[in-house]
Amino acid sequence: MESNNNSLRQQIADMRQSLFDEEMLDRHYRTVEELSDKDHPNFAEEVMTMYFRDSTKLIAIFENALENAPFNFIVLDKYLHQLKGSSASIGAKKVWEKINEMRDCLRERDIEGTRTVLQQLKKEHDNLRGRIEPYFRMLRQVGPSEIAQRPK
């Protein structure tokens, strides 16, 4: 049984490390993890769950706003600014990068470019969610005593 537990712990460590190696997450996520403690062992998971709930809504609002000309570039940029801040604070590096690309397109009034990058943003957002949710499920299997280790 101990061997299975060690194997699961290694899988968890490998999954986590791959999120950093593939630059899906950055050092800001480590800060979120460090806020977990014995009273809030799932803090990082809770923060990420809220992030995905809120960011998914914001992406949908932004996408809808891109369907309705004339475009209010100030409002569109405000949505992206909000999404950029929340993505940066949880360390969603690739999502954050796509938001910056979209903001550049908006500044140039390039709606088609913005729509193209929006699809890339949604893909990165979905990829991150698809990778981090199984990681959290595995963490719950080993229990709250498993504190994440810094990546190599």
Q: How many whole angstroms separate alpha carbon 102 and alpha carbon 114?
A: 5
Fold of 1-142: Four Helix Bundle (Hemerythrin (Met), subunit A) (1.20.120)
> Taking a C-beta distance cutoff of 8 angstroms, is the pair 124, 98 a contact?
yes
Q: What is the mean pLDDT of residues 103-131?
A: 97
Domain boundaries, the chain: 1-142
Give the tens place of pLDDT for each residue, 20-37.
Answer: 999 999 999 999 999 988
Length of the chain: 152
Residue 68 pLDDT level (bands cut at 50, 70, 90): confident
Give the tens place of pLDDT for each residue, 4-22.
Answer: 778 888 999 999 999 999 9
Q: How many whole angstroms separate alpha carbon 94 and alpha carbon 100?
A: 10
**pLDDT value of residue 6:** 82
**pLDDT value of residue 35:** 93
Q: What is the mean pLDDT of residues 109-127?
A: 97
Q: Provide the CB-side half-sphere exposure for 66 (13 A, CA).
A: 23
